[in-house]
């Protein structure tokens, strides 16, 4: 995979020495703390500092899930997350799923992701969706705030993708 150089940070595949920093960044935002293997990650790095990360999880049932989407607070709003996701998806020819808040689904449309009924998703994706929904609902009730509903989005494999589906590279 190509290394993409930006003015003050670099986006590339993660390396072994970044394992701990990846876990810290992802868990610091209370995202799914499991299956954080550096081999699956692309990262944004400034000098020695890890400022963003995302991964494609490879589940035992063969499904693939974009997840652990995170950028350090001072670096948000500059397109870093979008570039990390683009870097990961560039080399994915198969179907990829992402579980996200419903209100954020449009953000992923630019890569060709569309909402699908949970029952049509592979077992591992359905499982993460249910666990995420349950935890989100419990947290919202405890914090007395509205529940952020989740949705499952699917990006078809390369044969089923139409060039019109994506503003980003297919």
Ligand X SMILES: CC(C)(COP(=O)(O)OP(=O)(O)OC[C@H]1O[C@@H](n2cnc3c(N)ncnc32)[C@H](O)[C@@H]1OP(=O)(O)O)[C@@H](O)C(=O)NCCC(=O)NCCS
User: Per-residue x/- mask for ligand X, residues 105 to 134, rule CB under 6 A?
Assistant: --x---------------------------
Q: In what order do the strands lie in the sheet with 96-101?
A: 4-5, 10-13, 41-46, 49-58, 64-71, 96-101, 150-155, 114-116
Q: Dihedral through CA 106, CA 109, CA 111, CA 115, nearest 10?
A: 110
In the set 24, 34, 37, 76, which binds ligand X (CB under 6 A)? 76
Backbone φ and ψ of 100, nearest 5°: -145, 175
In the set 33, 79, 102, 123, which binds ligand X (CB under 6 A)? 79
Q: How far is the CB of 100 from ligand X (least distance, A)?
A: 4
In the set 71, 125, 152, 153, which binds ligand X (CB under 6 A)? 71
**Please, which residue, 21 or 71, has the CB nearer to ligand X?**
71
Cα–Cα distance list, 1 to 13, 63, 77, 124 (Å): 8, 21, 25, 27
The residue range among 33-41, 55-63, 80-88, 115-123 that interacts with ligand X, by the rule CB under 6 A, is 80-88
The residue range among 56-64, 76-84, 134-142, 159-167 that interacts with ligand X, by the rule CB under 6 A, is 76-84
């Amino acid at each position: 995979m190509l290394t993409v150089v930006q003015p003050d940070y670099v986006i590339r595949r993660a390396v072994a020495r970044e394992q701990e920093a990846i876990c810290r960044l992802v868990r610091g935002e209370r995202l799914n703390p499991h299956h954080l293997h550096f081999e699956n990650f692309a990262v944004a790095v400034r000098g020695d500092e890890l400022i963003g990360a995302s991964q494609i999880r490879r589940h035992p049932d063969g499904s693939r899930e974009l997840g652990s989407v995170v950028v350090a607070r001072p670096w948000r709003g500059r397109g870093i997350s979008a570039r990390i996701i683009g870097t990961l998806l560039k080399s994915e020819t198969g179907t990829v799923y992402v579980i996200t808040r419903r209100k954020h689904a449009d953000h992923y449309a630019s890569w060709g992701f569309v909402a699908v009924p949970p029952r049509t998703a592979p077992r591992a994706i359905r499982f993460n969706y249910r666990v995420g929904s349950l935890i989100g609902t419990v947290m919202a009730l405890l914090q007395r705030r509205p529940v952020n509903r989740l949705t499952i989005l699917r990006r078809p494999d390369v044969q089923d993708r139409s060039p019109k589906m994506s503003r980003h590279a297919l």
